[in-house]
Amino acid sequence: MKIDLTELLQKVGNEADLAEEITVSWPEDSLTLTKPIRLDLHLVNTGSSVLLTGRAETEAELECSRCLKKYRVPLAADLEEEFTLDPVRQGAGETELHAEDFASPIDPDNSIDLAEIIRQDLLLALPIKTLCQQNCQGIKGEE
């Protein structure tokens, strides 16, 4: 999913709101979605970067770790991402960037691709333990 930033980049301080529904398909081993992703995004041109905040909501199909039954859960992730305007960082130290904070680049055609970012954030939002219900008894007859 690509977002065109041409207009936003024209002036420092420009902001944009975006509400969209997107349908994606990722390899099944990573995440199976049963609904389109509802996106609510806010973009700000800070001068040195474009800050994206927002929320992604969808529904995922998971497999119960006890009975192996497939079940669906609502899945939501808060998005927060920084896109650097200039790949060469100037004035290092001005921004509170740690080594693990990875600022994504903006494509030469002034667009950003959100699909991978959203995928990562949704994966992080997945429950650690997948249970179809709190007291799932597992597969009957097997211990």
Residues that bind Zn ion (CB under 5 A): 64, 66-67, 132, 136
Q: Taking the complex as a whole, how short is the minimal distance between the CB of residue 131 and Zn ion, in angstroms?
A: 6
> CB within 8 A of 61, min separation 6: which ones?
32, 33, 34, 70, 71, 72
CB atoms within 10 A of CB 93: 7
Burial class of residue 133 in the structure, from the number of CB atoms within 10 Å of its CB (0-12 exposed, 13-18 middle, 19+ buried): exposed
Which is nearer to Zn ion, 18 or 139 (by Cβ)? 139
Residue placing its CB nearer to Zn ion in the complex, 22 or 136? 136
- The nearest distance, CB 84 to Zn ion, in angstroms, is 44
> CB 28 → Zn ion: shortest distance, Å?
19
C-beta of 99 vs 128, nearer to Zn ion:
128
Please, what is the minimum distance in Å from the beta carbon of residue 130 to Zn ion?
Answer: 8
Cβ nearer to Zn ion, comparing 120 with 130: 130
Nearest to 117 by CA among 19, 51, 59, 49: 51
Q: Within 13 A of 106's CA, how many CA atoms are on the CB side?
A: 21
